[in-house]
């Protein structure tokens, strides 16, 4: 299952899904119905699971042949009503094994199975989600989740007259727990985009996206002059700054300002100075031979999005999924 929610983690969900389809992906996963509809309208034929369906959108799910993750009796009852004219419509059962976010509890299984055996719905898969699969210090917690899921699997397998798919592993789960919990399918999200949540794996993966910009203007500051809003940075000696047309409206948030983050020009690290603006940020290019129009790298293969995000104590997920849709996406091969 390829997870392509959030514009394929900030990239281009439709184009990536169409490409992954040619590679034989069995399922796509999105968070919300609107994302699944966009994939269908782009021509994607592969089954699509909506991980967090909202009841107001259930009719649209059927219209576009999207498959809901059923995580509560409320969603189940609502979907039963809208799918009355459907025959064996595929659904996916989500169980909570410790993340405590969405999902049925194991204690709800008897009532759930009773309801399902009375309805014309087909359980296509049963799944849960690991809460700390990237953290080997929490191995006992992850193994506890795996054990809980195995018990759920055993009870469901004994109760249904057919065999649904069972799946538990996300990217870090695939990398750390495949021998314990591979089951019938795995779900790769951040791994598809080149990140393994661990330096051991990151070096073996290739980030698929680079974020680049250009220099709009060069400024020469004297000691005592300031840069940007609220005098976010004051030069303590003569320096040169470059203004870059990207800002917090584009996903490079204010947390990267004040020297925490850096951009790269001709292989040189150039610290962000002052506060990141809505549409621009400024960097220190003192000693770097550059001019207006030169290319600037925010992240790519080096530094990666994970490395750039680390400068502001955050993670690659937050950074790449926040990149604004106003930024042009260009697919290269």
Q: Report yes or no: 321 and 6 within 8 Å, Cβ to Cβ.
A: yes
Q: Could you confirm whether 5 is annotated as catalytic?
A: yes
Q: Which pairs with CB-CB distance under 8 Å and at least 24 residues apart come from 113-120?
A: 113/155, 113/156, 113/159, 113/160, 115/73, 115/76, 116/160, 117/159, 119/80, 120/83, 120/86, 120/87, 120/88, 120/89
- DSSP states of 120-138 as a string? SEEEEEEE---SSTT-GGG
Element (H, E) at 46: none
Q: Considering 151, 163, 229, 231, which one is annotated as catalytic?
A: 229
How far, in Å, CA of 75 to CA of 54, rounded?
Answer: 8
How far, in Å, CA of 116 to CA of 80, rounded?
Answer: 10
Q: Considering 5, 71, 193, 317, which one is annotated as catalytic?
A: 5
How far, in Å, CA of 218 to CA of 92, rounded?
Answer: 55
How far, in Å, CA of 78 to CA of 100, rounded?
Answer: 22
Element (H, E) at 152: helix 139-159
Q: Could you confirm whether 231 is annotated as catalytic?
A: no
Catalytic residues: 5, 229
């Amino acid at each position: 299952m390829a997870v392509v929610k959030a514009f394929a983690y900030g990239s281009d969900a439709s184009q990536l899904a169409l490409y992954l389809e040619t590679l034989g992906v069995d399922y796509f996963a999105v968070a919300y119905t609107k994302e699944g509809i966009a994939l269908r309208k782009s021509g994607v034929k592969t089954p699509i699971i909506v991980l967090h369906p909202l009841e107001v959108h259930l009719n649209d799910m059927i219209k576009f042949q999207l498959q809901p993750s059923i995580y509560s009796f409320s969603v189940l009852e609502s979907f039963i009503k809208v799918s009355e004219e459907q025959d064996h419509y595929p659904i996916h059962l989500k169980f909570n094994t410790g993340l405590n976010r969405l999902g049925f509890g194991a204690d709800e299984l008897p009532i759930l199975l009773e309801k399902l055996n009375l309805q014309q719905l087909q359980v296509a898969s049963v799944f849960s989600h690991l809460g700390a699969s990237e953290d080997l210090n929490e191995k006992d917690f992850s193994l506890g989740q795996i054990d809980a899921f195995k018990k759920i699997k055993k009870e469901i397998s004994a109760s249904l007259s057919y065999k649904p798919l069972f799946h538990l592993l996300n990217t870090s789960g695939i990398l750390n727990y495949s021998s314990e919990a591979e089951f019938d399918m795995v779900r790769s999200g951040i791994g598809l985009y080149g990140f393994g949540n661990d330096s051991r794996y990151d070096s073996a993966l290739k980030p698929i996206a680079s974020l680049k910009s250009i220099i709009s203007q060069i400024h020469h500051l004297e000691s005592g002059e300031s840069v940007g809003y609220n005098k976010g940075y004051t030069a303590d000696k003569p320096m040169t700054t470059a203004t870059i047309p990207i800002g917090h409206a584009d996903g490079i948030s204010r947390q990267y300002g004040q020297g925490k983050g850096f951009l790269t020009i001709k292989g040189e690290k150039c610290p962000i100075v002052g506060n990141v603006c809505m549409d621009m940020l400024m960097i220190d290019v003192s000693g770097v031979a550059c001019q207006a129009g030169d290319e600037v790298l925010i992240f790519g293969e080096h530094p990666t999005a994970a490395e750039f995000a680390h400068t502001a104590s955050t993670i690659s997920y937050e950074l790449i999924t926040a990149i604004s849709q106003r930024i042009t996406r260009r697919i290269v091969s």
